[in-house]
């Protein structure tokens, strides 16, 4: 059989022999690609200073790092960095913002348990549930606005 072009020959051959070695090779590549997908960085969006992802403090309490954004998933890389708001004796009560190496933070500070954010999330959850109950009892535009405002502070779909 004479073919006019290489493309035509490949097309006919793929129809006649669908399980060629190149197809097997391609399927193995796709399988490997699926298995090696990277983890998604869930902390890559910037947060305000009053609601950081993490808070780190020096043992004497004079330095404070508020992690506002993580640039990568793996914090153990040698040049991994955070975007932080840093309060120190040299900032006179305010925050300096910028990139900080994770190794520097971990070697000089201790991660704080964030009870403030936990209390806020519980309060936001209770406010949302109360607003939703009020809206279900009396469906007025005012109650709908109250419920929408409470949803800005609380996301019911983010619970574990």
Nearest to 87 by CA among 62, 70, 105: 62
- Are 106 and 119 contained in the same domain? no
Q: Please report whether residue 13 resides in a domain.
A: no
CB contact at 8 A, 94 and 121 = no
- Which residue, of 91, 111, 131, is where some domain finishes? 111
Each residue of 27-71: pLDDT tens digit? 555 555 555 556 888 888 999 999 999 999 988 889 999 999 999
Q: Please report whether residue 140 resides in a domain.
A: yes
Q: Please report whether residue 145 resides in a domain.
A: yes
Q: Domain limits at 104?
A: 54-111
Each residue of 114-149: pLDDT tens digit? 545 444 566 777 777 788 788 888 888 887 787 777
- Are 76 and 88 contained in the same domain? yes
- Are 63 and 106 contained in the same domain? yes
Q: Please report whether residue 35 resides in a domain.
A: no
Q: Please report whether residue 28 resides in a domain.
A: no
> pTM to 2 decimals?
0.51
| Tally of structural domains, the chain | 2
Q: Please report whether residue 7 resides in a domain.
A: no
């Amino acid at each position: 059989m004479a073919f006019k072009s290489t493309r035509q020959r490949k097309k006919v051959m793929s129809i006649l022999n669908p399980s060629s070695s190149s197809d097997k090779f391609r399927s193995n590549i796709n399988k490997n690609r699926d298995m090696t997908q990277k983890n998604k960085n869930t902390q890559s969006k910037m947060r305000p200073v009053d609601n950081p992802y993490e808070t780190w403090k020096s043992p004497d309490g004079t330095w404070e790092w508020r992690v506002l954004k993580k640039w990568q998933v793996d914090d153990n890389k040698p040049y991994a960095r955070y975007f932080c708001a840093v309060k120190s004796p040299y900032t006179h009560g305010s925050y300096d913002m910028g990139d900080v190496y994770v190794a520097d933070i971990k070697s000089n500070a201790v991660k704080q348990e964030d009870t403030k954010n936990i209390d806020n999330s519980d309060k936001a959850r209770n406010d949302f549930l109360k607003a939703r109950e009020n809206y279900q009892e009396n469906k007025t535009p005012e109650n709908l606005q109250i419920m929408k405002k409470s949803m800005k502070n609380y996301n019911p779909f983010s619970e574990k």
